[in-house]
Structure 1
Amino acid sequence: MEWDNQRLLDLALRVTDACLTTVNDSSDWSATGELRGQHFGDVVADNAALKILIDAGVNVFSEESGVLDQTSSITAVLDPIDGSTNAARGIPLWTSAICLLRSGTPAVAVVRLSGNQGVFAATRGHGATFGGKAIAPSSTTSLRKAIIFVNGYPRHHFGWAQMRALGSAALEISLLSKGSGEGFIDCSDGLAVWDYLAAALILSEAGGVVSVTGEDLLKPTIDRTRRKVIAACNTQILDALRDQTDQPGQDE
């Protein structure tokens, strides 16, 4: 099959829609006990995604089911439900995120919000959208005027105006792409590639910036290693956040 950008985008939209539609019909959010933070709802969503991706003949790297090699030039990096703890607790802040790579390079990304709250999408070289409309990040350059999304527990105040912790990195990084905040910083033991890759492409295409420790986002390493992620509306905010991570008492 000829995988042009539109076909990839259509596939990503179908997969994320299937994930959320299937999970919305599921009432079991108890833990599976198989993987860190995995709920039965995650598995239900993953199964729905795999049916589509297997039929499409593409490779898959999913948080829930791992690697599926179909010898394709296209690889789907998938987090069927990002923020499943929120879903389990009835907090309506969770997403389905997928990034489709062509020969190892991110080409298309979709982050779909639960409850029909909207869809972020991006195609490399063609910008990013929310609800089908072009988006751009905030123009704020001062950290003291910024709203910063935080994953994990910061050891000290970074000098922001306000902070938010929503429990879904894919959601938080994507929100930067439409000006809902100015920065994101991971203060946990790191994020896996499925947590950030789709949102990173969306933010980059919108005009923002993303830094991942030891990683080239144009040729990401597809494994389960956890990495530190900083994202921002511009380099000024990114640099200010990066400087803060070097302060005494802050975990590296």
Structure 2
Amino acid sequence: MEWNHKQLLDLGLQVTDSCLATVNESSDWSATGELRGQHFGDVVADEAGLQHLVDAGVNVFSEESGLLDQGSTVTAVLDPIDGSTNAAREIPYWTSAICLLQRGEPVAAVVRLSGSAGVFTAIRGQGAAFNGRKVVSSSTSLLKKSVVFVNGYPRHYLGWAQMRALGSAALEISLLAKGSGDAFIDCSDGLAVWDYLAAALILVEAGGVVDVQNDDLLAPTLDRGRRKVVAACNSQILNALMSEPGDASLHG
């Protein structure tokens, strides 16, 4: 089957809806002991989303179940639940995220928020939306006036006005797309491709910019490696962050 981009977006909407419909804060969020950070709720959500993708005949690269090759030109990069530690602690900041690649290039993305809080979508070359309404990233041009989302622990203050740490990279990067923040910095040991790819496409389509350590967003590497990510509402903020003393803590 030759998919068009709208069909792939619709598939992503179905998958993320099913992932979130199968779990809630009262689900079993204890650790499986199988994969780093994996909870039983993650596995349940993955099984629900995976069924749609298997039926559709597309390839899948999922955080929870790995690679499924069905010989398709389409590959779905799936994080059934991003922020499962939040879900386990009943902190209402978690999402289901999927990016659809066609012949290796990201073309459609969905980040659906828990609790019916909304859904971010994007089709490559057609912009980004939140709950169906077009969104654009912030026009903030000064780091000292920026609200910055942080994953991990920065080595020192980088000059922002305020910072936030919500515990879901997909959520935080997506929020930049509608101007709810101005930048995102990963100061951990890196993010996996399923953590950031869907949100990165959404942000880029909203006018933002994303820098991924040793990788190309237009032809992402699909593996379990971890890469540091810096995202911003525009190139001025990204450049300001990357040029700050200590930026080696981001990409070193």
State the TM-score, normalizing by the size of structure 2.
0.97
Question: Structure 1 248/99 Cα, relative in aligned 2: closer, same or farther at 3 Å?
Answer: closer
Q: Distance in 2 between matches of 1:250 and 1:25?
A: 33
SS of match in other structure, 2:22: helix
Question: Structure 1 249/57 Cα, relative in aligned 2: closer, same or farther at 3 Å?
Answer: closer
SS of match in other structure, 1:101: strand
Query: Could you say which residue in structure 2 is the equivalent of 1:73?
Result: 73
Alpha-carbon contact 1:60-1:66 (below 8 Å) kept: yes
- The share of aligned pairs that are identical, in percent, is 72
Question: Structure 1 72/248 Cα, relative in aligned 2: closer, same or farther at 3 Å?
Answer: closer
Query: Could you say which residue in structure 2 is the equivalent of 1:9?
Result: 9
Question: Structure 1 41/163 Cα, relative in aligned 2: closer, same or farther at 3 Å?
Answer: same
Alpha-carbon contact 2:213-2:251 (below 8 Å) kept: no
Question: Structure 1 25/144 Cα, relative in aligned 2: closer, same or farther at 3 Å?
Answer: closer
Query: Could you say which residue in structure 2 is the equivalent of 1:93?
Result: 93
Q: Deviation of residue 189 (structure 1)?
A: 0.1
Query: Could you say which residue in structure 1 is the equivalent of 2:54?
Result: 54
What are the residue-to-residue correspondences of 1:104-119 with 2, within 5 Å? Answer: 104-119=104-119
SS of match in other structure, 1:230: strand
Q: Distance in 2 between matches of 1:251 and 1:54?
A: 36
Alpha-carbon contact 1:208-1:234 (below 8 Å) kept: yes
Alpha-carbon displacement from aligned partner over 1:152-205 (angstroms, at most 9, x marks no partner):
001100100000000000000000000000000000000000000000000000
What are the residue-to-residue correspondences of 1:101-250 with 2, within 5 Å? Answer: 101-244=101-244, 246-247=246-247
Q: Distance in 2 between matches of 1:248 and 1:7?
A: 41
Q: Distance in 1 between matches of 2:115 and 2:150?
A: 23
Q: Distance in 1 between matches of 2:210 and 2:155?
A: 22
Q: Deviation of residue 123 (structure 1)?
A: 0.2
Question: Structure 1 3/25 Cα, relative in aligned 2: closer, same or farther at 3 Å?
Answer: farther
Alpha-carbon contact 2:154-2:249 (below 8 Å) kept: no
State the TM-score, normalizing by the size of structure 1.
0.97
Structure 2 unaligned regions, length at least 5: none
Alpha-carbon contact 2:59-2:69 (below 8 Å) kept: yes
Q: What is the identity, as a one-letter code, of the residue corresponding to 1:203?
A: L
Q: What is the identity, as a one-letter code, of the residue corresponding to 1:126?
A: Q
SS of match in other structure, 1:109: strand
Q: Deviation of residue 221 (structure 1)?
A: 0.4
Alpha-carbon contact 1:111-1:119 (below 8 Å) kept: yes
Alpha-carbon contact 2:228-2:250 (below 8 Å) kept: no
What stretches of structure 1 move > 6 A for 4+ residues in a row?
248-251
SS of match in other structure, 1:23: coil
Alpha-carbon contact 2:176-2:183 (below 8 Å) kept: yes
Q: Distance in 2 between matches of 1:62 and 1:248?
A: 30
Q: Deviation of residue 244 (structure 1)?
A: 2.6
Q: Distance in 1 between matches of 2:86 and 2:176?
A: 20
Alpha-carbon contact 1:84-1:94 (below 8 Å) kept: yes
Question: Structure 1 58/248 Cα, relative in aligned 2: closer, same or farther at 3 Å?
Answer: closer
Q: What is the identity, as a one-letter code, of the residue corresponding to 2:82?
A: D
Alpha-carbon contact 1:26-1:41 (below 8 Å) kept: no
Count of residue pairs brought into register by the alignment: 252
Q: Deviation of residue 239 (structure 1)?
A: 0.7
Alpha-carbon contact 1:155-1:250 (below 8 Å) kept: no
SS of match in other structure, 1:31: coil
Q: What is the identity, as a one-letter code, of the residue corresponding to 2:67?
A: V
Q: Deviation of residue 5 (structure 1)?
A: 1.2
SS of match in other structure, 1:158: coil
Alpha-carbon displacement from aligned partner over 1:102-131 (angstroms, at most 9, x marks no partner):
000000000000000000000000000000
Q: Distance in 2 between matches of 1:249 and 1:150?
A: 13
Question: Structure 1 245/16 Cα, relative in aligned 2: closer, same or farther at 3 Å?
Answer: farther
SS of match in other structure, 1:199: helix
